[in-house]
């Protein structure tokens, strides 16, 4: 069974901490041990695990991606979101997290982030347990 987490981004580029939402889905599903597979079915968004304690880390990642892949450039894709497609490809659209004793096995400073690159939009993340 696939479950979904819904998120609504508020800006064009935004990292949204979904760790608590994912943990809630694990708890609701009653999963004690296994793998939590997260998949973002969007071509201009992604998901990653990184430091959640210091918000400057997310800003640094966003700023670096924007510097490497600027919004305005001579892209062939003319919808105005070519950079978002490239950022999604680099960040990736899926992550796996071990579940142990009913909890996501994340490091002390780790959080799970939904990465919006073409917002604001309503998005969803598919959650599957193995």
Q: What is the pLDDT of residues 12-39, one digit of tens each?
A: 999 999 999 999 999 999 999 999 999 9
pTM for the full model?
A: 0.96
Please tell me the predicted confidence (pLDDT) of residue 23: 98
With H, G, I as helix, E, B as strand and everything else as coil, classify residue 112. Answer: strand
Determine contact, residues 9/126, Cβ cutoff 8 Å: no
Q: Are strands 34-39 and 122-129 parallel, antiparallel or unpaired?
A: antiparallel
The rounded distance, in Å, linking the Cα atoms of 87 and 59 is 14
Range of the domain at 105: 2-129
φ, ψ dihedrals at 50, nearest 5°? -160, -170
Q: What is the pLDDT of residues 67-78, one digit of tens each?
A: 999 999 999 999
With H, G, I as helix, E, B as strand and everything else as coil, classify residue 107. Answer: coil
The average pLDDT across 77-89 equals 97
- Is residue 116 very low, low, confident or very high in pLDDT (cuts 50, 70, 90)? very high
Residue 81: which CATH number? 2.60.120.460
- Is residue 100 very low, low, confident or very high in pLDDT (cuts 50, 70, 90)? very high
Query: Within its chain, how far is the Cα of 100 from the centroid?
Result: 21
Structural domains of the chain, count: 1
Q: Tokens at residue 101, please? A: 């004793």
């Amino acid at each position: 069974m696939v479950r979904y987490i819904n998120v609504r981004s508020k800006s064009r580029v935004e990292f949204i901490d979904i760790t608590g939402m994912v943990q809630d889905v694990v708890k609701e599903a009653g999963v004690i041990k296994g793998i939590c597979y997260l998949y973002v079915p969007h071509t201009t968004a992604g998901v990653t695990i990184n430091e959640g304690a210091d918000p400057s880390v997310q800003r640094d990642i966003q700023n670096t991606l924007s510097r490497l892949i600027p919004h305005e450039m001579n892209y062939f894709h003319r919808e105005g979101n070519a950079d978002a497609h490239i950022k999604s490809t680099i960040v990736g659209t899926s992550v796996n997290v071990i579940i142990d004793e009913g909890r996501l096995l994340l490091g002390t400073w780790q959080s799970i982030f939904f990465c919006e690159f073409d917002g604001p939009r309503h998005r969803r993340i598919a959650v599957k347990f193995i």
